[in-house]
Structure 1
Amino acid sequence: MGDTEPNLQNYNWCEDDSGQETEEYPIDYEIMASPNDFNILTIFNFIESGTVKIPGFQRNYVWDIKRASKLIESLIIGLPVPQVFLYEAGKNNFLVIDGQQRLMSIYYFIKQRFPKLEKRAELRKIFEKHGKIPDDMLHNDEHFAKFNLRLPEPSPDKPNRFNGMNYSTLGEYKSTFDLRPIRNVIIKQLLPKDNDSAIYEIFNRLNSGGINLSPQEIRMSISHSDFFDMLSRINTNEEWRKLLGLPDPDLHMKDIEILLRGFSMLIKGNEYAPSMMQFLNGFAKDVQKYDKQTNSYFESLFISFINSCSDLDKELFFGSSNRFSVMVFESIFTIACKKSYSKQQLISGNIDKESIQKLKKDEAFISFITGKTTNTKYVRGRLSRAEDIVRVV
């Protein structure tokens, strides 16, 4: 029951190696799928309590009131509706994979408020932050209208008995609606045990909305943390945007993934093993434990790195195709920050321009940023060459 959207994924502003992972990512999963028939009131309470979450990578609520009303009518009179798929991310923590529009229609109907079209992007952010819509916002007429069912009338002399009703005026049908079961399929990844990689595949293959999402879009929801909030802040840094050659943040968060990758190499690069996607997923889990002081230090370290690039032309971070190179950046960033990070200090000098020029002409380094660049040998090889050549003066 989702509306198909085009795949807007486009990383043509940077040289990226994620495309190689298609061939290197044949993971065998062990998945448990458990069907459950939760009644509507139980589902509503799950959403209210935050047990069932609409993750941030889901699109805005897009149904109009007529379509939402037809769903509610179907539930009242007992017509079948499509099942909902939930991903079990943890104890009492379920993410909606497929069925967001249906669940939100039910949620809004019980709340007796329907979101205005022009406010839905704003409401999506509020819902993601709080897990629900605060009551004061629900009663704000700038954002919501009354949710009275809007259903077609078969004929003037045969009015639809539910047309114009709301949740509180359902009368004898209210308990019927509340107790109507909806089939929920709960999906849990059993193997591999050390990551949630299945949700990336499941969402993009199963979701009826037809949305192809980047790994970072999903990562930002299932592994959200204060560290990710910090990455989002530094991603708007004016000098960083200039280095990228991209004035505005990337729609699919590739720029934030580049930052995540830089920090992952700085902090855990010696533990790297492919695939890059799995490595970043694991690192995203690790940084959820970082406290405010740690995140503040990394933010300051990044700013000191940006300041150390003041003598560098942005083209020095570009690859052979004259686009920003993820591999060149991660190498320079990791080595420029390495000594300062080991002492929990900030970079105090400038990155030597000639050393970067020398690095980019180095045959060994060039070989490590071409070919199978997410292979362990290539990742460690380019970091090693950068450590030998890059200087901060």
Structure 2
Amino acid sequence: MNINELIKQQNNLIEDDMSDQDAGVIENDDNTEETDIYGPVKFDDINSLLDANVTYNTMGIQIVSILNNLENGYFGIPGFQRRYVWKKEKVAYLALSIIKNFPIPPLYLYIDPTSKRKQVVLDGQQRMIAIFLYFNELTYVRSDNHINFKEVSILNREIRELENKKQKLEFESAMKKEVQAIGKEIKEKSAKLLDTYGMKRCHYTVMTDQDMGGSRNEMDISFSLFDDDSKTFLLSKNMDITIVGSADTKPQKTYANLFKLLNSAGKILGTQEIRNGIYWESTLYKELYQINEKNHIWRKIYGNISIYSKDMEILLKSLALFHYTKINEKEKLEVDFKGFSWAAIMDEYSCDFQTGEEVFLIEHFLNNIQNYESGRKCTKAIFEAMFVAYSILCREMDYKIDYEWLCDQAKKLGEIKSSKGSVEERLNIAYKELKEKLNEGKV
């Protein structure tokens, strides 16, 4: 059996990536999302990679260079990919692996097609941030995915220098007032580190084997405890990185398919997380991300921000559907997209339409929803269809949509499927119902 036949057989076992999601309600379902994810890379994705103009450059890079490249902005971490989720204990054991020279999976980066210079983390974001935290002796109190590595490094160095100065003065039995002044400055800068970046300074420990008494002991492996020669040795250790480049006209598609392939053998990222990692600097994604994070009506409807970016996926999916929906000569809505699938529509829209010109429609729709405080859940299918209908009929108007009425429209949909015909059917139901409501003057 050749590789193509094997991939085909594998894909026969994979349902359409959105087939069970359209009928669901809009809510934060992070507790189930690790199993509700996209399947392994598909046959078409493999073919795209085989045809792609891709270059690879694998090399060893010293840890000190990784830290410097993060600080100077040469290595970029997508601003709204999966939030940093590693616990302090996991960072400590990654550090122990570095200390003991255990193998660590390579980091994958791609050449940013906009700058042609910056290299963006394709796979290994958690490990790269963990390395930064360990060698700077920092930990997260709250996870924030907007890390300004340069600002954090400068502030952390200032705190560390003050700590060393205070320790030296205390050892020399200096004047109490002078020690207190430095202590106050440390406290102020530490408060800034916490309030602005959600971080604090810390020590990293691991549990040792049981001693003769049968108990386990904690061993401090914090970087500052090593002597200068050992610090230099650790910072000079190499990690493997692979730099991926593409000369294709649409390199983002190539990187997205590569990301799927990298994740197919391990803990798989959702496709929206992959899109976030590829299109993170596009105007479309930046503006959509702001709406997803800041629009209070959307946050009330969806719930807490999704760790796995399912909330942003609904907004993107709605926008992409609107973009490819046309009104035919019979005044019926139809989806003008060859080879319909939700993943294909969102990928194509992300790749080709990065101006953000249509993003205001999402906010316009959300801001005109009223009575959304009931806690009732709207189905994704009717939300997306009604958004399209509203954006066609009310684009220049501030008509108010009653949220209860919006939720009730799901009763008219019948069986909800992800096929093109089913999507067009609910688009036309939403269009008809909203048009009638407009004519009655009750919206």
Tell me if both proteins adopt one fold, taking TM over 0.5 as the criterion. Answer: yes
Q: How many residues align?
A: 334
Q: Once the 2 structures are TM-superposed, how far is the Cα of residue 73 of structure 1 from its aligned partner?
A: 2.2
Q: Displacement of 1:62 after TM fit?
A: 2.2
Paired residues of 1:149 and 1:166 also in contact (CA < 8 A): no
In the TM superposition, 1:271-290 aligns within 5 A as 271-273=336-338, 274-285=340-351, 288-290=354-356
1:251-284 deviation line (CA, Å, top 9, x unaligned): 5443432222222222343443432113213334
Please give the alpha-carbon distance, in whole angstroms, between the structure 2 residues aligned to 1:148 and 1:24. Answer: 37
Say which SS state the counterpart of residue 325 (structure 2) adopts: helix
Equivalences for residues 75-94 of structure 1 within 5 A: 79-88=101-110, 90=112, 91=116, 92-94=118-120
Q: In structure 2, which of residues 116, 123, 143 is the aligned counterpart of residue 97 of structure 1?
A: 123
**1:198 shift after superposition:** 1.6
Native 8 Å contact 2:63 2:238 kept in 1: yes
Q: Tell me the equivalent position of 1:267.
A: 323
Q: Determine whether 1:201 maps to 2:219.
A: no
Q: Counterparts of 2:70 and 2:97 in 1: how far apart (Å)? A: 18
Aligned-pair CA distance for 1:217:
3.5
- Cross-structure match for 1:7: none
Give the aligned partner of residue 397 of structure 2: 346
Identity %: 12
Which residues of 2 match residues 165-244 of structure 1 at below 5 A? 166=223, 170-188=227-245, 193=251, 195=253, 196-207=255-266, 210=267, 212-224=268-280, 225-234=286-295, 236-237=296-297, 241=301
Hey, what's the Cα distance between the residues in 2 that align with 1:174 and 1:356? 60
Provide the secondary structure at the position in 2 that maps to 1:38: strand
Q: Note the alpha carbon deviations across 1:111-160, whole angstroms, 9 max, x for none.
A: 3x2326xx1xx2x31x534256623367328643355887969x9xxxxx
Cα deviation for residue 332 of structure 1 reads 1.9
Give 5+ residue unaligned stretches, structure 2.
1-17, 26-35, 160-189, 212-218, 281-285, 327-335
What do residues 40-84 of structure 1 show as CA deviations (whole Å, max 9, x unaligned)? 22222222123334443154232437525423423xxxx353232
Residue 128 in 1 paired to residue 146 in 2? yes
Whether contact under 8 Å (1:86, 1:96) holds in the other structure is: yes
User: Is 1:52–2:75 an aligned residue pair?
Assistant: yes
Coordinate RMSD, CA, aligned: 4.7
Amino acid at match of 1:15: A
| CA deviations over 1:317-371 (Å, ceiling 9, x no partner) | xxxxxx7432222222211221332xxx23336589999989965xxx65xx644
Tell me: CA distance 1:314–1:199, structure 2 relative to 1, closer, same or farther (3 Å).
Answer: farther
AA matched with 1:182: M
1:159 counterpart residue number: none
Hey, what does 1:40 align to over in structure 2?
Answer: 63
Contact 2:382–2:430 (Cα < 8 Å) also in 1 = no
1:34 is paired with a residue whose SS is strand
- Residue by residue over 1:76-97, the C-alpha shift from the partner in whole angstroms, topping out at 9 and shown as x without a partner, is xxx3532323141523232151
Please report the TM-score for the alignment, with normalisation by the length of structure 2.
Answer: 0.59
181 and 200 in structure 1: CA distance in 2 versus 1, 3 angstrom threshold: closer
| 1:383 partner amino acid | L
